[in-house]
């Protein structure tokens, strides 16, 4: 059984409307495949000393300049903001959160 999942990397753009309010839009950058696993805060703290809220871990074979904090991965109806990236050259370990606002049409 393969654990590989196809996800879409998205980048955020913030513009301002006529009243000066920020408007966030997400643009698709590329589709990639990797291993997506559930991952908890206790494991993030044990392995990385990382205290930010973490829900998933994504392993990517290779290196990808679009896997950076601030971008997000989309898998099905899940918007998964990238909170930490460890780039080992031949592989990347990406920690993800779940979007607080997951409206689906707000991409």
Residue 66 lies inside a defined structural domain of this protein: yes
What is the pLDDT at residue 106?
42
Residue 19 half-sphere exposure toward CB, CA atoms < 13 A: 2
Count structural domains, the chain.
1
Q: Contact 4/24 with Cβ under 8 angstroms? A: no
Residue 23 lies in a domain: no
**What tens digit of pLDDT does each residue of 25-81 get?**
999 999 999 999 887 656 655 566 555 678 888 999 999 999 999 999 999 999 999
In a domain, 29, yes or no: no
pLDDT band for 102, please (50, 70, 90 cuts): very low
* Residue located via tokens 């196809």: 6
Break the chain down into helix, strand, coil percent, rounded to 5.
Answer: 5, 55, 40
Which pair of tokens denotes residue 93? 């370990």
Asked if residue 44 belongs to a domain, the reply is yes
Q: What is the pLDDT of residue 8?
A: 97
- Residue 17 inside a domain? The answer is no
Residue 58 structural domain: 34-100
């Amino acid at each position: 059984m393969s654990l590989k999942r196809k996800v879409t990397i998205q980048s955020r753009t913030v513009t301002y409307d006529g009243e000066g309010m920020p408007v966030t839009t997400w643009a698709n950058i590329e589709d990639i495949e990797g291993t997506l696993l559930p991952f908890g805060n206790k494991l993030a703290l044990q392995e990385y000393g990382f205290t930010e809220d973490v829900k998933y871990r994504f392993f990517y074979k290779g290196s990808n300049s679009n896997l950076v904090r601030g971008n997000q991965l989309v898998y099905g109806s899940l918007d998964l903001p990238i909170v930490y990236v460890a780039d080992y050259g031949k592989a990347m370990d990406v920690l993800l959160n779940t979007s607080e606002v997951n409206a689906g049409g707000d991409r």
